[in-house]
Structure 1
Amino acid sequence: MAYEAYESISVDVSDGVATVTLHRPEKYNALSTAVYLDLARAFAEIGLDRDVDVTVITGEGTDAFCAGADIDQYAGDAEAHDPRQKDRQRILYEDVYRRLYDLHCPTVAKINGYCVGGGLILAAFCDLRVAVDDAEFGVPTTDIGQIPSGGSTYRVAQLIGEAKLKELVYTAGMVDADEAHDAGFLNHVVPRSALDDCVDELVDAIRNTGRQAVKNSKRAINSAVNAPDLDTAREYEAEVWWEQFATEERARLVDAFVED
């Protein structure tokens, strides 16, 4: 399918892989309202493109994946901000993260530098995260008198635990890539020179399995992670299992395995 031009990002689709790049290096790829609007449309279009097997998200340049929200838009007293506009912005932010999390294909955050605030949230709503070893991570919202948003208090706590998230938020602290990996936020930490190869190998490994099985596995795992109880998770898992069992892909791959 055809992807139209964007204002603050680019979307490149090649051989089943969509690469979404934030294009604001002069602002450390900060997230303005224009960027969020571009991301909402990009994720909607990728969601309609069932030929996409994996989506990779990264930032332009070598300094930052994304340094968070464009702080200029928060300046001034609350009375100076239209509450209706702020509510529309909140809905937009939540919609972007929801679209990203619910994409039919696996998503990989390719973290090439600072991953802070809204940038950390963007990475958190991806399925997998790979970072250069000199990247830094944090949620320094309390430094500007605000709290985390966009569903991050739930999602990031899922990944790194309540205690670590509270420490990061309460202190507006930063951690390096190794600590982010140890906390469970990152899948891989690599030297900068190896970032492209590591992400490419991960993408290739995903695409060399049953592609529909991967996408249905994502549905089952996301549902289980957010299910209220084990029985609910089991019920949906069984539903998706039978759905996958009925596919031509499953029959073909099982037959090939048996023949080998």
Structure 2
Amino acid sequence: MVGETAYDSISVDVDDGVATIEFHRPEVYNALNDTVMLDMLRAFDEIQLDRSVDVVVITGEGDDAFSAGADISEYAGTAEEHDPRQRDRQELFYEMYRKPFDCHAPVIAKINGYCVGGGLIFAMYCDMRISVDDAKFGVPVTDIGQIPTGNSTWRAIDLVGEAKAKELVYTAGMIEADEAERIGLVNHAVPRDTLDETVDEIVEAIRGTGRSAVKNSKRAINHAVDATDPQENREFEAEVWWDQFATDERQRLVDKFNEE
């Protein structure tokens, strides 16, 4: 069962179909190191096997940060010292970033503070991002002589557009939550004392609809995000539509609607 595995750097709690994952490295602003990466991969593998999970919420311990990104101490030294381990490590980081996107259930990043670098990349791969209004966002990799990784260039352009993605990366700048909301990087930026309530309302709204319909909608939307051929995407969407149409859930909810 999800949540029964012991983790070193995160916690996973499942209650009535909602899985909550929390980073537990507040002393380093919930920075992502190898231990976090491996824990998160295991957690999502468990969630993927549990179809009773309707929604996943990810947050960071404390009030300071969702995640400040990669643990930069793990990048010190020459390229020769890191090769080939760093190449393999980057592949594993990409697998971790992609897990929320590929998860069968909607995944919400509950952003309670700084959301920077790899932390922001991870949040970008979630389905939704709900943030406190005093959070800060950025991808300051050029400040340390690196470039974005984890296919984040594609994901950032998809979310905020080419020009804004280039500005964020080239300048290594930080933006406020209201700007992140304006450009579509986050869905909602809310006062800190309403963050829990806002996320809970979205979770309940999702769970108040057809469970299978939501998950199949995620399949269709995610395929459209990755698609390069509109006709192929149309065919996939039609296939998923029919899968959902054939469910008992669809028949039950249509009958309920017509009775009302």
**TM-score of the superposition, structure 1-length normalised?**
0.98
Distance 2:84 2:44 in 1: 25
Distance 2:81 2:95 in 1: 25
Equivalence for 1:115: 115
What amino acid is aligned across from residue 119 of structure 1 in structure 2? G
Q: Please tell me whether residue 126 in structure 1 is matched to residue 104 in structure 2.
A: no
What amino acid is aligned across from residue 44 of structure 2 in structure 1? F
Distance 2:109 2:102 in 1: 15
> How far did residue 90 of structure 1 move?
1.3
Distance 1:171 1:17 in 2: 38
> How far did residue 11 of structure 1 move?
0.3
Deviation by residue 1:209-239 (Cα, 9 ceiling, x = unmatched): 0010000000000001111121111100000
**TM-score of the superposition, structure 2-length normalised?**
0.98
What amino acid is aligned across from residue 81 of structure 2 in structure 1? A
Is the contact made by 2:141 and 2:147 (CA closer than 8 Å) also made in structure 1?
yes
What amino acid is aligned across from residue 41 of structure 1 in structure 2? R
What amino acid is aligned across from residue 157 of structure 1 in structure 2? I
Equivalence for 1:163: 163
Is the contact made by 2:100 and 2:127 (CA closer than 8 Å) also made in structure 1?
no
Equivalence for 1:75: 76
Distance 1:104 1:78 in 2: 37
Q: Secondary structure, in 3 states, of the residue corresponding to 1:184?
A: coil
Deviation by residue 1:142-190 (Cα, 9 ceiling, x = unmatched): 0000000011011111000111010011000000000001111111110
> How far did residue 76 of structure 1 move?
1.4
Which stretches in structure 1 are left out of the alignment for 5+ residues? Answer: none
Aligned residues: 259
Distance 1:169 1:186 in 2: 17
RMSD over aligned CA atoms reads: 0.7
What amino acid is aligned across from residue 65 of structure 1 in structure 2? F
Equivalence for 2:63: 62
Equivalence for 1:149: 149
Distance 2:241 2:80 in 1: 52
Equivalence for 2:258: 258
Distance 2:66 2:241 in 1: 36
Is the contact made by 2:30 and 2:66 (CA closer than 8 Å) also made in structure 1?
yes
Equivalence for 1:236: 236
Distance 1:252 1:231 in 2: 31
Deviation by residue 1:180-212 (Cα, 9 ceiling, x = unmatched): 011111111100000000000000000000010
Q: Secondary structure, in 3 states, of the residue corresponding to 1:98?
A: helix
Which stretches in structure 2 are left out of the alignment for 5+ residues? Answer: none
Matches within 5 A, 1:1-260: 1-2=1-2, 3-81=4-82, 83-260=83-260
> How far did residue 242 of structure 1 move?
0.3
Q: Secondary structure, in 3 states, of the residue corresponding to 1:234?
A: helix
Is the contact made by 2:130 and 2:186 (CA closer than 8 Å) also made in structure 1?
yes
> How far did residue 22 of structure 1 move?
0.3
What amino acid is aligned across from residue 256 of structure 1 in structure 2? K
Distance 2:166 2:60 in 1: 27
Q: Secondary structure, in 3 states, of the residue corresponding to 1:115?
A: strand
Q: Secondary structure, in 3 states, of the residue corresponding to 2:141?
A: helix
Distance 1:227 1:259 in 2: 38
> How far did residue 255 of structure 1 move?
0.2
Deviation by residue 1:111-152 (Cα, 9 ceiling, x = unmatched): 000000000001000000000000000000000000000110
Is the contact made by 2:70 and 2:118 (CA closer than 8 Å) also made in structure 1?
yes
Distance 1:102 1:170 in 2: 29
Poorly superposed stretches of 4+, deviation over 6 Å: none
